[in-house]
Structure 1
Amino acid sequence: MSETPFNVLFLCTGNSARSILAEAILNRVGRDRFKAWSAGSNPKGTVHPFAVDLLVQLNHDISFARSKDWAEFANPDAPKLDFVFTLCDSAAEEACPVWPGQPMTAHWGLPDPAAATGTEAERRLAFADTYRMLNNRISIFTALPLATLDRLSLQRRLDEIGSQTSSKDAPEPA
């Protein structure tokens, strides 16, 4: 493939669950067309064990998985970002760094599975549900005809993807 892949950053405050799952999913679903990373404004420093367990169960390579500060992606040596997606409401409300290259941004908020309560099975189910929702959104995103959409149309589509609550409501990938 001669084209440079699109660089995507997923943000969450703690960078321990949702953003880690999204990074793994996009790097699998997007293959050579996308390169994903994740980070947090206040990273926990560890990846939630239920997130790791789920990724292992689903045969994802987890060697990438580490909780990191979003400042890593705002420095001059960082990859030029094409897209930045916030996955939690608190990260969406924070003042983000200025990303080099003016990437497209959208908020794809989801409940935090790490905050789930109940039995261990119920808490693990919250992680599986988050994975499913992220997989649906990322699959729609990767199917978008990026080369044929102008910036305004693309922004509208990114926002639509983030506003969906289930796969049955998801927009068609034009």
Structure 2
Amino acid sequence: MSTVGKVRVIFVSKRNSLRSVLAHACLEHIGGERFAALSCGSPKHLASEIHPAALGALASARMRPPLSIPTSWGKLREQGAGRATFIITLDDETIGEQPAWPGQPDTALWSMPDVAALEDPEKAAYGAIQTLYALRRRLELFINLPLAKGDRTSLRADVRDLGTMR
């Protein structure tokens, strides 16, 4: 499916193994006709594979995982995929480390717990499902924002406000 004309959203998390993967897959699932999702992580902390808890949560929700393996934001930019309309960061740690994104996209912090850091697989699996549910609620609201109409300042505020949902 072509990404031309779609609103491009990049989700960023530390390892790009769970939070950003869940957001990426969820947006493709619920908004794939209008949105193109990508995800990436910090080059310093990048995982080698998608976390098993993320794969389990996506399977239980009948969502396909992204086809890509965890990718650093540097690699994403090298591939020319770094131009986006929105950059949504899913953890506090990486917000200050990120590069300047091309095209001055709107940014938002939607902080989510670092479930991938949990050592107990059952807690990680439960946390991944909770994270997916929380992201889906936010993304359902996000895809219904008047992205093509209205003023950019209000839209930016609305996207940032979604990060304060509980």
TM-score, length-normalised on structure 1?
0.85
Deviations 1:102-137 (A, max 9, x none): 11110000111113355x433311111000110011
- Alignment partner, residue 86 of structure 1: 89
Q: Return the offset for 1:69.
A: 0.6
Gaps of 5+ in 1: 166-174
Equivalent residue for 2:102, pick from 100, 107, 127: 100
How far apart, in 1, do the equivalents of 2:135 and 2:66 lie? 20
Deviations 1:13-47 (A, max 9, x none): 11110000000000011121000010001311211
Equivalent residue for 1:70, pick from 63, 69, 73: 73
Q: Return the offset for 1:149.
A: 2.4
2:13–2:94 CA contact under 8 A, matched in 1: yes
SS of 1:106's partner is: strand
How far apart, in 2, do the equivalents of 1:62 and 1:164 lie? 24
Over the matched positions of the two proteins, sequence identity in percent amounts to 33
Deviations 1:58-100 (A, max 9, x none): 2222351411111123237325311100001101232x21211
User: Is 1:139 aligned to residue 140 of structure 2?
Assistant: yes
How far apart, in 2, do the equivalents of 1:14 and 1:76 lie? 19
How far apart, in 2, do the equivalents of 1:63 and 1:144 lie? 24
How far apart, in 2, do the equivalents of 1:112 and 1:149 lie? 34
How far apart, in 2, do the equivalents of 1:107 and 1:30 lie? 20
How far apart, in 2, do the equivalents of 1:88 and 1:13 lie? 7
RMSD over aligned CA atoms reads 1.9
Q: Return the offset for 1:50.
A: 1.1
Distance 1:64 1:76, change over 3 A: closer
- Alignment partner, residue 27 of structure 2: 26
Distance 1:37 1:63, change over 3 A: closer
* Total equivalences in the alignment: 162
User: Is 1:157 aligned to residue 158 of structure 2?
Assistant: yes
* Greater length-normalized contact order (CA 8 Å, ≥ 6 residues apart): 2
User: Is 1:111 aligned to residue 113 of structure 2?
Assistant: yes
1:39–1:70 CA contact under 8 A, matched in 2: yes
SS of 1:59's partner is: coil
1:74–1:97 CA contact under 8 A, matched in 2: no
1:7–1:79 CA contact under 8 A, matched in 2: no
TM-score, length-normalised on structure 2?
0.89
User: Is 1:58 aligned to residue 29 of structure 2?
Assistant: no
